[in-house]
Amino acid sequence: MSRAGGSRVVVVGASMAGMLAAAVKDVAGSVEIVEAHEVPERLGPRTGVPQAVHIHFLQTAGIEAVEALLPGTGDLLTAEGW
């Protein structure tokens, strides 16, 4: 992956895709996340992500990909009861 130096990256949406995109911040000079809804302190359903109230599962390759960018996510989800 090439480095974008001092470029400014704007990520729209602070859900899974947005947070993973923002996690690659070392390729840019700065990353700004724009979220239309309030993001709660704790994990849980929220406005803007209506599918969050449904049961989800994360396959092994999925959590491995997430952990590569955001280490500790699996433990955090488990600790929060997800």
Ligand X SMILES: Cc1cc2nc3c(=O)[nH]c(=O)nc-3n(C[C@H](O)[C@H](O)[C@H](O)COP(=O)(O)OP(=O)(O)OC[C@H]3O[C@@H](n4cnc5c(N)ncnc54)[C@H](O)[C@@H]3O)c2cc1C
Q: Which residues bind ligand X (CB under 6 A)?
A: 12-18, 34-37, 48-49, 51, 54, 56-58
CA-CA distance, 10 to 31, in Å (whole number)? 6
What DSSP string describes 8-39? EEEEE--SHHHHHHHTTGGGSSEEEEE-SSPP
Whichever of 2 and 36 has its CB closer to ligand X, that residue is 36
Report, in Å, the least distance between residue 54 CB and ligand X: 4
Whichever of 5 and 54 has its CB closer to ligand X, that residue is 54
Report, in Å, the least distance between residue 5 CB and ligand X: 26
Report, in Å, the least distance between residue 43 CB and ligand X: 13
Nearest in space to 27 (alpha carbons), one of 54, 63, 2 = 2
Whichever of 28 and 33 has its CB closer to ligand X, that residue is 33
